[in-house]
Structure 1
C-alpha cells in the first residue's frame, strides 16, 4: 500500500496523537504582495547549438537548421552557396530568459535552451550568440555559452536508456543585458500593492498594519486584491518607504481548502476545514460523526451568561481484525484523516470519502483534486 502523507497548510504533519497549532500563518508583506509596475519581463530568441556529438538535427526532418547554419556562416564571411551542408552536430533551439525588474546593462541572467528539431540530445553543445527579444520585438539581451543538460540518453546495439530530458538544458548567467527597461520608480506619488492571493481579511490586515506602523492613514484597501499607499505625506523616497513597510509582519488568512493529489497520495488541508454531522459507510469502513452541544452555566450569583459549547464525537469502524478508532474533539477533517490513517486506509479510498462528504454538503471547504 502506498504510504499516505497528510499535510496541513501550516506545515503540520497530521498523524494520530499529534495536535496541530491553531495560530494563523504570519509572514512579511513582501511575501504576499507584488508592487504594481515592478515586474519581470520574458525574453525569447532563436539560436543554434553546435558541437554536438552526432546527436543534432537531421536535414530531412529539420530543414530550417541547415538554412540557419548557412545564414550564420555567410554573416561570418564564409561562402557556402551551392554547398551541400548536412552536419549532425548542429541543432536549432529556442532560448528563453526572464529579465528581472531594474536589471542594468552588463548584468547577467540565466537562460533555458530547448530543441525545436529532432535532435536527440544537447549534451556537450554550445549555444552560438543569440539575441533575446521582448514582446515589443526589441533586443534586450544576448545569450551564448556551454549548455548544461541534466537528462541522459545512452544507446547501444539493441538497447537504449533515457533518463530526464536531454533535449533541454540551461546556461547559468548565460545572457548579458544590453538594454535597460526605463522606469522612474522614485517619481511616483503612490504605491499599489497587489495581493497574489486576493482576500478581504488579508488586505484589511495589510492596511491596518501599514497605518499602525506609519502612524497615519496612508494605506487604503481598494478591493480584496489591492491596497493603495499615498506617499505624499511620507518622508523619504518611494524606494525607502517600500523598504520600510515590506518587512512588516502580518497574519495571512488561510482559506479552508483541501488539495488531493491522487497520484502521490498527498492530502493538504487548510486550518479551518471542518465537517458537520454525517455518517459514512465505504466498503468495510463506517464513519459516524455526531454533535452533542453542552450548555455551560455560570456559578450561582455570578455575573455571567449561559453559553452553548460544541461537543463532537467521531467513530470510525472497520470490520475484520482491526480495532475502532475514536476521537473526542470538535469535528475537524484532520482528526478524521488521522483516524483513517490508523486504520490503514489507502489514498484512493480516503480521496473517495472526502469527495463524497463534499457532495453531501458535510464538508465545509474548497476541494481541489489533481
Structure 2
C-alpha cells in the first residue's frame, strides 16, 4: 500500500515537467463519435437461446411475416435464437460504405451467444434516424456449461459478443469542422494556466492573435477557410507541444479499496502528529462439568446423567503500541510526507485518518477527495 502511494507520487512528479502534444491534450469541438443502438435477433445458437420468451417469439414472427411467411407464435421455438441489443460507435468523418465494429448483448433468457449469427439490424442515432446496418457472425470470448443436475460453469461473459466490421455505414453525420472561421479546441483537463500556455504556444508557431484562450477549457483558433489547408493546419496544430501546468494539489482516497494517491503538489504546514495503536484480543472458552444423579435400587446403583453445567471462561489480552510522533516543518514536500507516514508503519486506514486530521487542522495544503 505504501509503495503504491510512493509510485503514484513519482508519476505525478515526472509528468509535471513533460511536454505533451495538443493531440493528446485536447479535442476539437464537433469532432466526436456518435453512439448507435438497435434491436435484433441472433440465430444459430446451440440450444442456449431464449426458449419460449414472448419478446423473442413475437420478434421472430414479425421478421418472418416481413418475408412473406404466415406463422403463428405457437409454431415457433426460440431455443436456438436470442433477442439482442446491438451497439456501436460511429466515428467522425465516416462515409457511406465504411464499416464499424458492433457489440451484441442479450436482453432475454439466452445463456450464450456462442456460434450465433446476427440478422440484419438497423442501428439508429439519438435522432431516431438509421445510420448503419449490422449483420454477421459473432465472436464470443466466454462460455457456459450446465449439467443435468443444475450445476453450471461460466467463463467470462458468454452473453455478450462482438462483430468486427459488422456494420456498414449508411449515412454520414454532418460535422461542423469545415464551418466558420474558427476551431474550438477543448482541453481534456480544464486549467486556466494550461489554456493560456496552449494559446501562447500556438501563436508562437502560427503568428500573433491566431489563438485566444476563452476560458480554462476552450482555446479559439483562427483556421484557414480552404478545406485542404484546414486539414493541413490541424495536422500541424495537433503536434505542437505544450507543458501542462501542474494539477491542483489533491489527495484521493478510494474508500472501497483503501487506495490513497497523493499528488505531487501536496504540501504540509508545520504540524505534529502522534500515531499509536491499541489492540484488544478476547478469547472465549467454556468450562463444562457433567452432573449426574445417583440412585440405589436394592443392591443396584443407578447413575442418571443430568444437564451439564457450562461456565464461560473469557481471557482478555491488551496490547498497546507505543505512540510515535513526527513533526512536519514548513512547506514539507510529498516525499517527506510519505517518508514520515511510512516511518510509523501506518496502515491504509491509519493513513486516511492522519490525512483527515491534517486537513481539519488546516495543515494539509490540498483537497481531500474520497471516491
Q: TM-score, normalised by structure 2?
A: 0.78
In structure 2, the CA distance between the partners of 1:266 and 1:163, relative to structure 1 (3 Å rule), is farther
In structure 2, the CA distance between the partners of 1:116 and 1:28, relative to structure 1 (3 Å rule), is same
Structure number having the greater helix percentage: 2
1:26 aligns with 2:25: no
| Gap runs ≥5 in structure 2 | 279-319
Equivalent position SS for 1:31: helix
- Counterpart of 1:369? 370
Tell which deviates more after alignment, 204-213 or 145-154: 145-154
- Report the Cα distance in structure 1 between the residues aligned to 2:208 and 2:80, rounded to whole angstroms: 66
In structure 2, the CA distance between the partners of 1:235 and 1:82, relative to structure 1 (3 Å rule), is closer
Cα displacement (A) at 1:4: 5.4
- Counterpart of 1:52? 45
Task: Indicate conservation of the 8 Å contact 2:38/2:85, yes or no.
Answer: yes
Q: Deviations over 1:111-168 (max 9, x none)?
A: 1112111222222222111110111111111111222223333333353233433222
- Counterpart of 2:29? 36
Please list, as runs of the form range in 1=range in 2, the aligned pairs for 1:246-325 lying within 5 A after superposition.
Answer: 246-253=238-245, 254-284=247-277, 320=321
1:173 to 165, 178, 183: 165
- Report the Cα distance in structure 1 between the residues aligned to 2:322 and 2:275, rounded to whole angstroms: 17
- Counterpart of 1:230? 222
- Counterpart of 1:205? 197
- Counterpart of 2:301? none
- Report the Cα distance in structure 1 between the residues aligned to 2:252 and 2:356, rounded to whole angstroms: 11
| Gap runs ≥5 in structure 1 | 13-19, 286-318
- Counterpart of 1:75? 66
Task: Indicate conservation of the 8 Å contact 2:270/2:330, yes or no.
Answer: no
Q: How well do the aligned residues superpose, as a CA RMSD in angstroms?
A: 3.0
Task: Indicate conservation of the 8 Å contact 2:39/2:86, yes or no.
Answer: yes
In structure 2, the CA distance between the partners of 1:127 and 1:349, relative to structure 1 (3 Å rule), is farther
In structure 2, the CA distance between the partners of 1:124 and 1:278, relative to structure 1 (3 Å rule), is farther
Task: Indicate conservation of the 8 Å contact 1:262/1:347, yes or no.
Answer: no
- Counterpart of 1:347? 348
In structure 2, the CA distance between the partners of 1:357 and 1:174, relative to structure 1 (3 Å rule), is farther
Cα displacement (A) at 1:68: 0.5
Task: Indicate conservation of the 8 Å contact 1:4/1:265, yes or no.
Answer: no
| Higher Rg | 2
- Counterpart of 1:294? none
Please list, as runs of the form range in 1=range in 2, the aligned pairs for 1:110-259 lying within 5 A after superposition.
Answer: 110-156=101-147, 157-183=149-175, 185-231=177-223, 237-253=229-245, 254-259=247-252
In structure 2, the CA distance between the partners of 1:109 and 1:233, relative to structure 1 (3 Å rule), is closer
- Counterpart of 1:86? 77
- Counterpart of 1:316? none
- Counterpart of 2:284? none
Task: Indicate conservation of the 8 Å contact 1:4/1:266, yes or no.
Answer: no
- Report the Cα distance in structure 2 between the residues aligned to 1:234 and 1:78, rounded to whole angstroms: 55
Task: Indicate conservation of the 8 Å contact 1:4/1:347, yes or no.
Answer: no
- Report the Cα distance in structure 2 between the residues aligned to 1:29 and 1:10, rounded to whole angstroms: 23
